Chains A and B, each alone.
Chain A
Amino acid sequence: MNKSSFLSEVVQASGQTIQACYQCQKCSAGCPIAYAMDILPNQLLRHIQYNHREKVLGSKTIWLCASCYTCSVRCPNNIDIAKVMDTLRAMAIRSGIQAGEKDIPLFHSVFLNNIKSKGRIHELSLLLQFKSKTKDFFKDAQLGWKMFKKGKIKIFPSKFGGGKDIKEIFNSFEKGERR
């Protein structure tokens, strides 16, 4: 394995022996979201073995994975595929390659901003911030109203928690510091 290859980079960052995949396809057979993916999980592992960096990091698959761990527990070679997906998403964000799914990485960044400013997730402001980016204000508006009437929507966020720690965590993340 070439040490500077994409395969080696993913193996090192995830700690998973991706070379061990022999294409039994058990991961894809059990994946509840395989039907919506552009590259099946077993195919994705093959592409990594072949160092197809752009194809893998630009795929829909890495964003659609819901981290249900079904593949990870069934892999006969003990590859924690859900963890590989985490590694690939993080690499994709840093790579600048256009994401295969538009809204999902956007949602994650809005979500993290919500933690950064409030310490805890405040569901209502998270939803509004996300909608202000997708411009899709009407989707689920009726549902939101029904949930409000059931007392499920908290109007005001809790007091900011963990101020200094949260600031430091995000500072170090934004500077790309590694411990």
Chain B
Amino acid sequence: MKIVSYYPGCSLHGTAKEYDESIRGVAEILGIELHELEDWTCCGATSAHSTDEELAINLAGRNLAIAEKENRELLVPCVACYNRFKVAEKEVKEHPEKSRFLYKGDIPIRYSLDFFCEDSILKELEKKISKPLKGLKVVCYYGCLTVRPPDLTGIKQYENPEHMDNLMSLLGAEPIQWSYKTDCCGASLVLTRTDIVKRLSGRLLLMAKEAEADCIVTGCPMCQANLDTRQDEIGKQLGDHFEIPILYFTELIGLAIGHKDVKKWLGHHMINPIKILSTKGLI
């Protein structure tokens, strides 16, 4: 059994509950034990790095120091937290004086999608697939921080990534190629400049619809929320109608391996995914 430290981050205790539940569920079946990081705190997010560099480094760095003490690989499901950790890691390695926490940078910080796309895990996953997602047409939406900046994420194909598409093929789904894989959804502007988020997310919904996708797949709680929560408003604004489920890749893994809690996870979505999944005979 593989044991990793797990930093859920604030969203996964609230709006991205189904992401947390599905990661835990899938990990268990794949024989990965998640050890929630002891007394973790917020990574600082956009607000810290928009305010003060040292504040951002220290809010992220505190968690990295704890993870290093636990001395295990650190699994991070929220890509925004992941970005803050990778930035802090780089800064602390280059300028240790900027950090008040001792952190050498010895443990691997892993974003969940990269982690689940690792060869050893894919091999294990392949053995567990009991209900292939036959006939499900998906567009993979990587968003920004999954791939950028490549010197921090290590993703070589940052303009046209394919690892999530390959994962979906493995699960038996049909990934459709589209040009919006890494376009921004508007991110944290959602509460302050909702108009911008509606415009950016609206374009993504429109393009997913044009690609005739049954759903959009993501690994970012912020992208998921921006795309899932405002389809009504966006549709009205564009004189269109959207009803595109926005699924976490972990939920689709759960579905393909026949996890018993899938319906519970899907029940948290604003756009109900069960409808389309049952017409495809997948649930």
Q: A147 and B229 in contact (CB under 8 A), knowing A70-B184, A121-B10, A162-B41? A: yes
**Residue in A closest to B94 when the chains form the complex, CB atoms:** A15
When the two chains form the complex, which single residue of A64, A89, A162 contacts B196, counting CB atoms closer than 8 Å? A64
B257 to chain A, nearest CB (A): 23
Question: Measured between C-beta atoms, what is the minimum distance from A142 to chain B in Å?
Answer: 10
Contact in complex: B14, A153 (CB < 8 Å):
yes
> What residue of chain A has the Cβ atom nearest to residue B230's Cβ?
A143
B120 within 8 A of A: no
Report whether over half of chain A's contact residues are helix, strand or loop; otherwise say mixed: helix
> For residues 176 through 200 of chain B, which have their beta carbon under 8 Å from a beta carbon of chain A?
183-184, 186-189, 191-196, 200
Are B58 and A169 in contact (CB-based, < 8 A)? yes
Please give me the residue from chain B that is nearest to A89 by CB atom: B50
CB distance from B17 to the nearest CB of A (A): 6
Whether B183 and A152, one on each chain, are in contact in the complex, defined by CB atoms closer than 8 angstroms, is no
| A76 lies within 8 A of chain B by Cβ | no
- Flag if B47 contacts A107 (CB, 8 Å): yes
> In the complex, what distance in Å separates the CA atom of A140 from the CA atom of B188?
15
**Cβ-defined contact, B98 with A68, below 8 A:** no
* Docked-complex contact B17 and A152, CB < 8 angstroms: yes
B150 at the interface (CB under 8 A from A): yes
B window 197-252: CB within 8 A of A:
200, 229-230
Closest Cβ–Cβ distance, residue B218 to chain A (whole Å): 15
Chain B residue nearest to A150 (CB atoms) is B268
Judge whether B100 and A101 touch: CB under 8 Å. Answer: no
Decide if A29 is an interface residue (CB 8 Å cutoff). Answer: no
Q: What secondary structure prevails in chain B residues at the interface with A?
A: loop
Interchain CB contact under 8 A, B100 and A169: yes
The number of A-B residue pairs with CB atoms under 8 Å apart is 165
Determine the distance from Cα of A71 to Cα of B61 in the docked complex, in whole angstroms: 26
B160 in the interface (beta carbon within 8 A): no
CB distance from B54 to the nearest CB of A (A): 7
Pairwise interchain contact A179-B97, C-beta atoms closer than 8 A? yes
Q: For the complex, what is the distance from the CA of A154 to the CA of B145, rounded to whole Å?
A: 26
142-178 of chain A: CB within 8 A of chain B: 143, 146-147, 150-154, 158, 161-162, 165-166, 168-170, 172-173, 178
Complex: A112 Cα to B51 Cα, angstroms:
9
A87 to B230, CA, bound (A): 32
A154 to B8, CA, bound (A): 15
Q: Does A6 contact B (CB under 8 A)?
A: no
Contact at A147–B54, with CB atoms within 8 Å?
no
Min distance, Cβ B24 to any Cβ of chain A, angstroms: 16
Nearest opposing residue in chain B for A108, CB measure: B47
Cα–Cα distance between A169 and B44 once the two chains are bound (Å): 11
The CA of A171 and the CA of B212, in the complex, are separated in Å by: 52
Whether B55 is near chain A, meaning CB under 8 Å from some CB there, is: yes
**Which residue of chain A is the closest to B59 with respect to CB atoms?**
A169
**In whole angstroms, what is the CA distance A1 to B62 when docked?**
37
- The answer on a CB contact under 8 Å between A32 and B55 is no
Q: Is the CB of A66 within 8 A of B50?
A: no
In the complex, given contacts A32-B184, A169-B58, what are 14 additional A-B residue pairs having Cβ atoms less than 8 angstroms apart?
A64-B193, A86-B53, A90-B50, A108-B50, A109-B47, A112-B47, A115-B42, A121-B10, A139-B194, A153-B14, A161-B41, A162-B62, A166-B41, A169-B62
A-B contact pairs, 25 of them (CB 8 A): A32-B186, A33-B196, A64-B196, A67-B46, A67-B50, A67-B187, A68-B187, A73-B148, A86-B50, A103-B191, A104-B193, A108-B50, A111-B47, A115-B41, A115-B44, A119-B41, A123-B14, A124-B14, A130-B191, A143-B229, A150-B269, A154-B13, A162-B40, A166-B62, A172-B54
Binding site for B on A (CB under 8 A): 32-33, 36, 63-64, 66-70, 72-73, 80, 82, 86-87, 89-90, 93, 101, 103-109, 111-112, 115, 119-124, 127, 130, 139-140, 143, 146-147, 150-154, 158, 161-162, 165-166, 168-170, 172-173, 178-179
